[in-house]
């Protein structure tokens, strides 16, 4: 099994009416072949699809089967500018989309990381995505604390092999699904290799059921936090004007582990090494948007001067956006077991969260905006754990 990302520029070359009516989706060009997904009902359209593909790209087509409902969903998301990763099985001649994984981290507590995770999960759901929020703070379960959701079973029960990951999913009133963490459990702070491997297998399976999975990780830069951050396809560092150095430190720590993984591991045939770590940054609790932008530019300059000067590997940070400071509104809202996006949908805070979510998925933005393409976090985790896999 291997992974491809739907090529948005390739898809734009095709008539969307043809894609919907004839039930097919061009994914990418690989080895001078057009990799195309088609529904079981589209077999009768085989020659039409092949001819359209040849005329549009100049390449002959390799066909893979995709479930009809999944195809319809992907075409709907593509209209919003959302392009999934696709797992390709040569043995079964099928493809299936998997949700993108986004980790949210910070170097210290108190910067609003968990609130950002919750509000982003809600805003992604508003955009039509099926979202799963993981409370992966393995010792403090901050999402559970903020939402006052304390199910009987948590990730602690999963890692002890008492339940499956699917058994932990809770459907919330906020539009997204949720998997709870655990408070004050020392054993989870010292996970074994086999526990990480089991988590990898289950997160790979559950990723087929969601469009987007968010990891809200614990504060700090411990080995486990950084490893789970790099297991995600994208990582997002939350920092504030008072903790900008901590934001820089979080990026530097993750980058160090990124370099370690990519410099020591042997690449599989046809797999390219990653040389660029591209975390998103969110500047939280700023005075205004200009304030946040200025802080990010200073942060980026510091990274260029102190990290990127003499290394083959580079950090190329991306700016997701800023959130203004409104502590009183936040405290009042969460005290009532509500969230900003629902209680104060027209507030500047809610608008900021909307803008962050839209920019991340590239929805509703200028046509000139190009969403950065990153390596696969799941592939990275395979190398991290030393798992023998074609994935």
Q: Is 375 exposed, middle or buried (0-12, 13-18, 19+ CB in 10 A)?
A: buried
Instruction: Please indicate whether residue 307 or residue 362 has the higher confidence score (pLDDT).
Output: 307
Residues 6+ apart with CB under 8 A from 76: 128
Residue 33 near residue 50 (C-beta atoms within 8 A): no
Residue 387: per-residue pLDDT: 62
Question: What is the mean pLDDT of the segment spanning 316-321?
Answer: 95
Token digits of residue 370 = 């190009």
Say how far apart CA 266 and CA 195 lie, in whole Å. 23
| Count of CA atoms in the C-beta half-sphere (13 A) of 270 | 8
Q: What is the end-to-end Cα distance of the chain in Å, rounded?
A: 5
The Cα–Cα gap between 23 and 37 comes to: 9
- Cα distances from 287 to residues 63, 176, 209, 213, 325, in angstroms, run 53, 30, 39, 30, 6
pLDDT of residue 194: 83
Reported as a single tens digit per residue, the pLDDT across 259-286 is 988 887 665 555 677 889 999 999 999 9
Query: For residue 212, how many C-alpha atoms fall within 13 Å in the half-sphere facing its CB?
Result: 28
CB 25 within 8 A of CB 37: yes
Domains of the chain, start order: 2-43+54-97 (3.30.300), 100-385 (3.40.50.300)
Which pTM value belongs to this model?
A: 0.90
Q: Within 10 Å of residue 196's Cβ, how many Cβ atoms?
A: 18
Statement: residue 26 has pLDDT above 90: yes
pLDDT (0 to 100) of residue 215:
96
Distance (Å, whole) CA 171 – CA 24: 32
Cβ atoms of 261 and 384 closer than 8 Å: yes
Tell me the per-residue pLDDT of 166-198, one tens digit each, with 9 for 90 and over. 999 999 999 999 999 877 655 556 677 788 888
Helices marked H in the chain? 8-11, 16-21, 46-57, 68-79, 113-126, 142-147, 155-159, 193-206, 223-231, 244-264, 289-306, 327-335, 340-343, 348-361, 377-385
Instruction: Answer whether residue 388 shows pLDDT above 60.
Output: no
Q: What is the mean pLDDT of the chain?
A: 89
Taken in order 168, 169, 171, 172, the sign of the CA dihedral is positive
Instruction: Render pLDDT for 41-75 as a digit per residue (tens, 0 to 9).
Output: 988 898 999 999 999 999 999 999 999 999 999 99
Euclidean distance between CA atoms 211 and 346, whole angstroms: 26
Instruction: Let me know how many helices (H) and strands (E) the chain has, helices first.
Output: 15, 16
Mean pLDDT over residues 349-369, rounded?
81
> Do residues 323 and 359 touch, judged by C-beta distance below 8 A?
no
- The DSSP letter of residue 274 is P
Closest C-alpha to 143, from 166, 116, 108: 116
Q: Is the pLDDT of residue 349 over 90?
A: yes
Give yes or no for residue 370 having a pLDDT over 60.
no
């Amino acid at each position: 099994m291997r992974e491809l990302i739907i090529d948005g520029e390739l898809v734009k070359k095709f008539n969307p009416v043809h894609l919907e009516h004839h039930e097919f989706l061009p994914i990418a060009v690989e080895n001078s072949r057009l990799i195309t997904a088609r529904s079981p009902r589209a077999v009768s359209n085989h020659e039409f699809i092949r001819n359209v593909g040849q005329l549009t790209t100049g390449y002959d087509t390799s066909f893979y089967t995709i479930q009809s409902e999944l195809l319809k969903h992907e075409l709907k998301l593509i209209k919003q500018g959302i392009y999934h990763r696709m797992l390709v099985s040569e043995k079964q001649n099928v493809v299936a989309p998997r949700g993108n994984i986004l980790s949210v981290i910070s170097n210290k507590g108190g910067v609003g990381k968990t609130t950002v995770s919750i509000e982003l999960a809600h805003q992604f759901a508003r955009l039509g995505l099926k979202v799963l929020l993981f409370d992966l703070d393995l010792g403090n379960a901050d999402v559970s604390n903020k939402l006052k959701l304390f199910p009987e079973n948590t990730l602690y029960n999963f890692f002890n092999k008492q339940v499956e990951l699917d058994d932990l999913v809770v459907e919330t009133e906020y539009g997204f699904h949720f998997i709870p963490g655990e408070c004050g459990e020392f054993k989870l702070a010292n996970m074994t290799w086999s526990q990480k491997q089991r988590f990898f297998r289950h997160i790979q399976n559950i990723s087929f059921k969601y469009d987007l999975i968010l990891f809200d990780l614990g504060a700090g830069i411990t080995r486990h936090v950084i490893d789970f951050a790099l297991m995600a396809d994208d990582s997002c560092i939350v920092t504030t004007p008072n903790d900008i150095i901590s934001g820089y430190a979080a990026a530097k720590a993750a980058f160090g582990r990124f370099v370690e993984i990519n410099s020591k591991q042997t690449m599989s045939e046809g797999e390219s090494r990653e040389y660029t770590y591209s975390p998103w940054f969110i500047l939280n609790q700023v005075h205004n948007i200009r304030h946040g932008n200025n802080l990010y530019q200073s942060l980026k300059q510091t990274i260029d001067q102190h990290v990127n000067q003499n290394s083959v590997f580079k950090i190329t940070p991306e700016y997701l956006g800023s959130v203004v400071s409104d502590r009183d509104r936040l405290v009042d809202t969460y005290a009532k077991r509500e969230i900003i996006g629902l209680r104060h949908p027209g507030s500047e805070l809610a608008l900021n969260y909307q803008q962050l979510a839209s920019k991340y998925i590239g929805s509703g933005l200028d046509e000139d905006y190009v969403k950065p393409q990153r390596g696969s976090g799941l592939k990275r985790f395979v190398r991290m754990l030393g798992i023998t896999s074609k994935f």
